[in-house]
Structure 1
Amino acid sequence: MRILNWSIDGVRAKMPSLIAVCKTEDIDVILLQETWLTSGAKFRIARYNAYTTPRIGTDKGLAALVKTSIPTARIHNLIACGNNIKTLAVRITLLNQNIDIYSNYRKINREEPGELQLAQLFAHTAVSPTIICGDFKAHHPLLSSPSARIPSGEHIAFALEEFEGVSLLNKGTLHT
C-alpha cells in the first residue's frame, strides 16, 4: 500500500500536481492537510473516494482520498489528539484486515496553542492496526527535523518510546 501525506496549503491551486501524482505514482491513500476547502465544496479525483472536513475560521481543512477499489468508511467516533488538533480518519479493508488511518493537523494559534496529546491514539494501535499521519508542527531530531526541538516534537519522541509496537516511518524529506 502506498500512502501520500501532503500539507498542501490550498488544494485548488495544486490540483494539476495532485492529479499528476495520482496518475503516475499509483498512490492508494492520499492524506491532505490545509486544503482550504469550504463547507459544501465539491472535491473529486477520478478513481478515488474523497472524505473532507471544511475550512472554518482558522481551521484549514483536511481531505483523505482512497482508491475506489479499496473498501473504505469514514470513522466518525474520532480519537481526540489535543486542543486545536483537527482530525479526519478512515477505515480501509485490505485482505480482510481493517486498518484505521488518521490524518491530523495541528494549527499554530498564539492565543490558543494546540497541545498535542497522542497517548490515546497511540494506545489504539495495540487494538487496531493504525496509521497516523499529518502535519503536527513538531520538531525533533527523531523526526528528521532540520529545526530545533519544540515541545510538540518532544511529545512525539516521548510517546514513540513509551508505546511498544508504534514505529515512525519518516524519510525526512520535504517537498514543496
Structure 2
Amino acid sequence: MPLKLLSWNCDGIAGKMPELSETIKTLGIQVLMLNETRTSAAYKIRLRGFQTEHLRINGVNGGVAVLVRNDVPYNRMHIRTPILKHTEVIAIQFADGTILAAVYNSPQKKITSEELNALFSLGHKVILAGDFNATHANWNCNKNNANGNTLYKFINDNNVMLHTTYGPTHVPHNGTTPNTLCTQLTGLPTCRTMPHTLPSDHVALEFHLGELDARGMSRRVYDYGGFTTTAGPIGYHSDRS
C-alpha cells in the first residue's frame, strides 16, 4: 500500500488546524509537509496521532514543518550548511533511504543551483516538496522568473523530475494572475499528484510513494561532505522553536 503525503503552503497555519485535521483524516494522509507556517516562537503545531518537526529561520514570514503519523517510522535530519542561506528546509528519512524535504524559498530570495545540488546530494532517493517561488512556462506559468530559469536549467541538467498539477497552485486573494508555485522535485520517473482545496491561496498537493520497509530503523548520524546531519530514533519528536 503506498504512503500518502500532502504538501501545502498554508499561508499561516494558526486557526487552520481543525479543517486541516479533518482533511488529513478523510484522505488518509500519513505525512504532511507545510510551508509558510508563519508562526511565532511560542506557537506549537500539533495534530493528534502525528509527530511534528518544525523549523523557523526567517521568523514569522516563513517556516516549514513535517508531520508524520505515529505508525510511520522515520528519522529527522538536521541540516547545517552555509549553502542554504535563505531557503528553509526540513528533512526526514525513511527506512528504505528515501529522503523527504519540505522546502520554502521566499519570493524575495534567489534559489541557486548550488542549493539544489546540495539538497539532492543528501541521498540517492530525494524528494523536495514545497513552494520554490519559481515560475516558468514549462510548468504552465504566465512568465519565467529568475528562480524558474534556475530550476528549469537544473531539471534539464540533472536526473530530476518536476511533478505538479495541470492547473495553477497559487490563486492570489488580490485577483492577480494565478501561477504554479508549489511543486515536487524528485528523482522518481512517476509521481501521482492530486490537488485539494484548503483555506489558503495555495492548493494542497497529494502524492503517493511506494510501500516503505520500516525494518531496521535506528538512530543514525549522517555526514554528507559539508553537511552535518543527525537523526533521532523511531518516533523521535522535535518541535523546534
TM-score in terms of structure 2 length: 0.62
CA contact (8 A) 1:49 1:66 kept: yes
Does 1:119 pair with 2:113? Answer: no
Partner of residue 132 from structure 1, selected from 102, 108, 128: 128
The 5 A counterparts of 1:82-161 are 82-93=84-95, 97-109=96-108, 113-117=109-113, 118-122=116-120, 124=121, 127-145=123-141, 147-161=142-156
Say what the alpha-carbon RMSD is for the aligned residues: 2.2
CA distance in 2, matches of 1:53, 1:101: 15
Counterpart amino acid of 1:8?
C
Taking a change above 3 Å as real, the CA distance of residues 71 and 79 of structure 1, as seen in their structure-2 partners, is farther
Note the residue ranges of structure 1 that are not aligned, 5 or more in a row.
none
Taking a change above 3 Å as real, the CA distance of residues 22 and 79 of structure 1, as seen in their structure-2 partners, is farther
SS class of match (1:155) = helix
Tell which structure's C-alpha radius of gyration is larger: 2
Please give the per-residue CA displacement for 1:44-101, whole angstroms capped at 9, x wherever unaligned.
11121111013653642111111111111211135676432111111123xxx12111
Q: CA deviation at 1:14?
A: 1.5
Does 1:50 pair with 2:45? Answer: no
Note the residue ranges of structure 2 that are not aligned, 5 or more in a row.
170-196, 202-241
Residue 10 of structure 1 corresponds to 12
CA distance in 2, matches of 1:81, 1:3: 27
Larger RCO (CA under 8 A, 6+ residues apart): 2
SS class of match (1:98) = coil
Residue 31 of structure 1 corresponds to 33
TM-score in terms of structure 1 length: 0.83
CA distance in 2, matches of 1:132, 1:42: 23
Taking a change above 3 Å as real, the CA distance of residues 23 and 79 of structure 1, as seen in their structure-2 partners, is farther
Aligned residues: 166
CA distance in 1, matches of 2:111, 2:27: 35
CA contact (8 A) 1:8 1:35 kept: yes
Please give the per-residue CA displacement for 1:98-138, whole angstroms capped at 9, x wherever unaligned.
211111111133xxx3333312223x27x421111111100
